[in-house]
Amino acid sequence: MTGDRYKWIALSNTTLGVLLATIDASITLIAMPDIFRGIQLDPLEPANSGYLLWMILGFLVVSSVLVVSLGRLGDMFGRVRMFNLGFIIYTAASLMLTIDWLTGPAGATYLIAFRVVQGVGAAFLMANASAIITDAFPPDQRGMALGINNVVGVTGMFIGLVLGGLLAPISWRMVFLVSVPFGLFGTVWSILKLKELGQRRAAKIDWAGNLLFAVGLILVMTSVTYGIRPYGDAPLGWGNPLTIGFLTCGIACLIAFVMVERRVDDPMFRLDLFRIRPFTFGTCSTFLAAIARGGLMFMLIIWLQGIWLPLHGYDFESTPLWAGIYMLPLTIGILLAGPVSGYLSDRFGARPFATGGMLGAAFSFGLLILLPIDFAYPAFAVVLLLNGISMGVFSSPNRAGVMNSLPAGDRGAGGGMNQTFQNSAQVLSIGIFFSLMAIGLAATLPEALFHGLREHGVGAAAAHRASDAPPISVLFASFLGYNPAEHLLGAHTLAALPAHSSTVIDGRSFFPHLILGPFDDGLHKAFLFAAFACLAAAAASWFRGGRYVQAEKEAEDRLPSPDDQTLTRQTVAVRSPM
């Protein structure tokens, strides 16, 4: 079964795997308050902020670190075999997450550990899915097929938000349990139906390269998690010696990794692939687009949950679910544009669509800057739809252009490299966006918060203590659906206030009105950065060149040139008997 029917089986199975992996990358974001209440741990306590960050980022970090190695193993031992193993690991980890019986820090550590294992399974799936599709589809249909797979994967990040908001209030365990039946189905389906079509490349495992790359990337991404946490009196931890140490050692390991890869016979990271122009510039644009997109979801959630939804009558406890629902135009735009642009790129090449998509995304970020903080939703929905369409127009052709440029025996490694740049960029983007937001808030929020609390009867000492809270605490509170004012003051202080003042401070509109100005400044900095990242991605995409398919190029190289054909005919004529 390797004909027309098989390619659709390969596409649907790998797309299910990628969808599950990306849903789980975001499903905990909305469900975090219910998860931490379930294990009896306050995620906003300063001592517990590390648990919160690693619940968010641990999955992304491990999938970023492993995806190249696992794609390389797929080239060596079989992509389908690695993909099947990914389904097994992912499903087992999802089941183990469901049965966490511990509470407090031990319960959080258990969840983080198995989220990491779940990320390992997701990395197996993401590292080999594109290569399996590329093996199954002819060159003139890969853009469409990879477009569907990629768009569904990107959409999974936003589906996870809504799904987490729906399931977590019922039971936090359902957030993880929902993946188990789909994982079991996908595992059995892939084992029974997927076939090895790719070329295997016999090679030795590059242990030194794998170790240096893993340690270096983990240290760099760990420095990001410490960088966005407060340090001493500073709102952020980028001056923390631990942050600097992690970042320095991580960069040193990555430099050593590049030196090792240039010398070993069978490198993990195929640096020679960067000689292929469409691969190099396509991967560069992948990285820059993910930098722009990675933090967008967090900024929109904070904007909606911390300000807009409370101002429009929603309780803080219900804002996580509604934030996911109100962001659906973004998902719709990606779903509409992705498959169509992928199909068209099969005929016209990736460059016009990928470049145009990034220009459209930059324009949409400019429109987000122009929107008032308390916007009219129809305008907001149109801008989100435009951003989603632009991202969809970019993503599918870009992924197809990258995969088409790779030799058949290097599709696992090359696809894994591209996925690593994307996943790493998302983690870095979160750090950059949170840092820009915190810097903007730190400049004006303390004074606004102090005077706002004093005007409603809060004592000077309590108001000063609340206004000294790190801006990142305010962002986390908004992100998790807590009332930041109530959290900063505490229930005891609120209870001691006159009834009217306590009702106002604890109400839906007090904090959103208070934070409008400071938040606007930070948000504009974040969106401006995203717009410039999109413009840089558009430039990188344009320099990829015209339509390029490695298999077609290799076939052309094997054909004799016209001069050679003429010479051959002349030689035959000379040697032919008269």
* Residue type at position 286: T
Confirm if 441 and 519 have CB atoms less than 8 A apart: yes
Backbone angles phi, psi at 295, to 5 degrees: -85, -10
Q: Report yes or no: 150 and 350 within 8 Å, Cβ to Cβ.
A: no
Contact 456, 505 (CB under 8 A): yes
Q: What is the pLDDT along the chain (578 residues), one digit of tens a residue?
A: 455 789 999 999 999 999 998 898 888 877 888 898 899 887 767 677 778 778 877 887 887 778 877 887 888 888 899 999 999 999 999 999 999 999 999 999 999 999 999 999 998 998 888 889 988 888 878 878 887 887 788 778 778 888 888 888 889 999 999 999 999 999 999 999 998 887 676 667 778 887 888 888 888 878 877 887 778 777 778 888 999 999 999 999 989 988 988 888 777 777 788 888 889 999 999 999 989 887 787 788 888 887 898 888 888 777 877 888 898 898 889 888 888 887 888 888 888 999 999 999 999 999 999 999 889 999 999 999 999 999 989 988 888 888 888 887 777 778 778 878 887 887 788 788 878 777 777 777 788 888 888 888 888 888 888 888 777 777 777 767 677 777 777 777 877 888 888 888 877 778 787 777 777 877 888 899 999 999 999 999 998 876 555 555 554 444 454 444 444 444 333 333 33
Let me know: does 523 contact 299? Beta carbons within 8 Å.
Answer: yes
Question: Residue 234 — φ and ψ, nearest 5°?
Answer: -80, 140
The predicted structure's pLDDT at residue 218 = 82
The two structure tokens encoding residue 383: 């801008």
Helix (H) or strand (E) holding 148: helix 142-167
> In the structure encoding, which two tokens stand for residue 10, read together?
């390969």
Q: What is the largest CA-CA distance in the chain?
A: 116
- The pLDDT value recorded for residue 482 is 72
Distance CA 155, CA 151 (A): 6
Phi, psi of 168 (to 5 degrees): -60, -40
- For the entire predicted model, the pTM comes to 0.79
Counts of helices then strands in the chain (DSSP H, E) = 25, 0
pLDDT for 95 equals 95
- Residues in Cβ contact with 353 at an 8 Å cutoff, skipping those fewer than 6 apart: 341, 344, 345, 393, 394, 396, 397
d(CA 220, CA 214): 10
Q: Which helix (H) or strand (E) holds 417?
A: helix 411-454
DSSP collapsed to 3 states, 237-279: CCCCHHHHHHHHHHHHHHHHHHHHHCCCCCCCCCHHHHHCHHH
